[in-house]
Amino acid sequence: MAANLTSESENTDRVVKLVNECRMLDLNIVPPDINRSKVGFFARKNAVYFGLNAIKNVGKKAAFSIVNNCEKDGIYKSIKYLVIANYPGQN
């Protein structure tokens, strides 16, 4: 299901339908988390983790930047750290 959701991540209506199917299959849908989510959806145990790319107006470039910086530097402790890491020179 995670692969299906990732492939449809730019189609909000389809994502909603697939998320509902996951729920009918008793799969937990873990909401987006700036420190745990990946660019695409992924599965772990009996859960599907929401991909950042499926959030409206985030975009692939921003999602890759957020995930890469989090993996490189560790968790974002606040919105300030998120901005500093992903938009250097903008603070």
**Whole-number mean pLDDT of the chain?**
91
What pairing do the DSSP bridges indicate for beta strands 28-30 and 47-49? parallel
pLDDT tens digits along 6-42: 999 989 999 999 999 999 999 999 999 999 999 999 9
Q: Which two tokens stand for residue 10?
A: 């730019």
Which secondary structure element, helix H or strand E, spans residue 58, and what is its range? none
Select the more confidently predicted residue: 59 or 41.
41
Portion of the chain with pLDDT greater than 90, in percent: 75
User: What's the confidence (pLDDT) of residue 91?
Assistant: 54
